[in-house]
Structure 1
Amino acid sequence: MTEFEESEFRGPLFNQLERGSHLLWEPGQVFEKTIGVDRASLCVHDYLWKLYGFSAPLGGSVLRSHHFHYIWTNTKPKKVLPDFNLNLFIQAKRSEYSSRSKVKLSPQINGAHWYFEVTPHQQVSLELLEKELAADALVVYAAPVFHEQQQLYNHTSNQTIVSNSTFPKVSMLTGHSKWYYNKGGLTGVANPDFEDFDEVNLLSQIETLRNQTGDYRLNSRVQNLQKLSQAIRNVVEKQSNSFQATRFAYERELIDDMILDYELNNYVGVKDYMQIELFNYLWKLNWLTF
């Protein structure tokens, strides 16, 4: 059993992550239940960003620039959000300690470990927030890799809470109900499938993909655009009953009209590029090429 409350861990954790940043936003208790976030900040702590493979903090996103229709529908449509960049959104969790290993956790976690439970409605809100912010910001959980009151005080005094906490991304826990771990960082196991995570950092994954051979390396830029736009149309077709798919079909007709009006038929790849960007806009994605 953990000897301290979530709020006792949350305060010094945020303090150490932010390192004196004055750009903070902490939702009220009622609003926090809807958006699922304990705190948002402009975080410059090197340790956290290096965990995810970033050499520098993400630029951040201005919450006021997003509509968040899924949040405001049944809450406060006139809620005023901060108008400054935030790059880290955290839901702090109170962990539970177990001195015994679970059979299904072995060999990933063998022996003493900690875990926290995912709150279903909170997870849904956080997933939507993560998708809305795309590559501009991180949305994560945070929980301690310790459970004794004196350890909390020691890590607070020594400024070591961050390195002794786990920070799984919200997307890592999609479809799961618990996160098991025995050390800080990103390593852990999610159930009910007991799926273990020990991810290579993002930049390393990108470099590996760039070095792989395949159609996208061999084809011309136009061929790649055509292939990608066809894949996107296939995705949209499979979601034909959704609002976004309906909008996509309507906007595609406008793209066709625009190409005729501006006599762009001879410019191969323009239509494909516009369809890709339309898909990114409607599904709130950020398209990057490397």
Structure 2
Amino acid sequence: MVAATFEEKTYETAYNADLIAGAGGNWRVFSPGQVLEKVTGFDVAADPGPEHLIWRVLRVPRPRGLSLMPSHWASSRSGVPKARELPSMPLSLILQFKRPEYLYGSRAAQRRLWHGPYYRFSRSTEQHSVLKRLESKLADDAIVRYASPAFHTLGELEEAQMKRKVIALSGHVAPSVFGRHRVWTYNAAGTYGRGNPAGRARPVEAFDDLFASLIGVSSGRG
């Protein structure tokens, strides 16, 4: 097992740079501090502009989004953020970043399932509970996802940064799909992931797939 040679914050910074880059890019990216993050459960919330390259790549319009309110965390054991601590701008994408481990060799427990090396990341019980509740409350207006890269070296991260492919080379999984498992495993962005132990294969979304269900909901509203 090899831990990623970059910190989670380094990956987060590179990912956010992809979010704000390009024509139509903006700085509508909200990143709570460590204290507030323990309450909100997420690392970043964003809403790229309608002319941003990302929407042309996705071939979908920007989702409606919404402004976060303290009521979205009602009954949370981790606490409720104050209104003045939350951004007033509408947001449609909420992410919790995870730093992966790279597993290879005959002693890797799920090597036989992945037929080769794979990645994994773990989640905390308290944070996961907050994210699942938030995902449920925001279902029609914004999506909540874990994001983790399908690479593990600083060199790979730097190359992805230079090519503006950090997002494209990341996998995204919904807290509800993660379920009760403590560890999530995958071997590439956009392939399948598994809860560990004994989890069945489930889709891990690449960024191109990320808004598909949300756009389906929007188009069905009439």
How far the C-alpha of 1:6 sits from its partner, in A, is: 0.7
Higher helix share: 1
Number of equivalences? 205
Deviations 1:232-267 (A, max 9, x none): xxxxxxxxxxxxxxxxxxxxxxxxxxxxxxxxxxxx
In structure 2, the residue matched to 1:119 is 124
Distance 1:70 1:11, change over 3 A: same
Bigger Rg, which one? 1
* Corresponding residue SS for 1:9: helix
Distance 1:72 1:96, change over 3 A: closer
Higher strand share: 2
Letter in 1 for 2:12: R
2-structure distance, mates of 1:134, 1:31: 22
User: Do the aligned residues in 1 keep the contact of 2:74 with 2:80 (CA within 8 Å)?
Assistant: no
Distance 1:87 1:197, change over 3 A: same
Letter in 2 for 1:84: M
In structure 2, the residue matched to 1:128 is 133
1-structure distance, mates of 2:40, 2:191: 23
1-structure distance, mates of 2:204, 2:221: 21
2:12 is aligned with 1:10: yes
CA RMSD, Structure 1 to Structure 2 (Å): 3.1
Q: Which runs of 5+ in 1 are unaligned?
A: 208-285
Distance 1:89 1:79, change over 3 A: same
2:85 is aligned with 1:84: no
1-structure distance, mates of 2:47, 2:28: 6
Equivalent of residue 30 in structure 2, options 25, 35, 41: 25
User: Do the aligned residues in 1 keep the contact of 2:173 with 2:204 (CA within 8 Å)?
Assistant: no
Give me the TM-score of the superposition, normalised by structure 1: 0.62
Give me the TM-score of the superposition, normalised by structure 2: 0.79
In structure 2, the residue matched to 1:138 is 143
1-structure distance, mates of 2:199, 2:125: 17
User: Do the aligned residues in 1 keep the contact of 2:73 with 2:81 (CA within 8 Å)?
Assistant: no
Letter in 2 for 1:34: V
How far the C-alpha of 1:79 sits from its partner, in A, is: 4.0
* Corresponding residue SS for 2:94: strand
Letter in 2 for 1:83: S
Q: Which has the higher contact order (CA 8 A, sep 6+)?
A: 2
Q: Which runs of 5+ in 2 are unaligned?
A: none
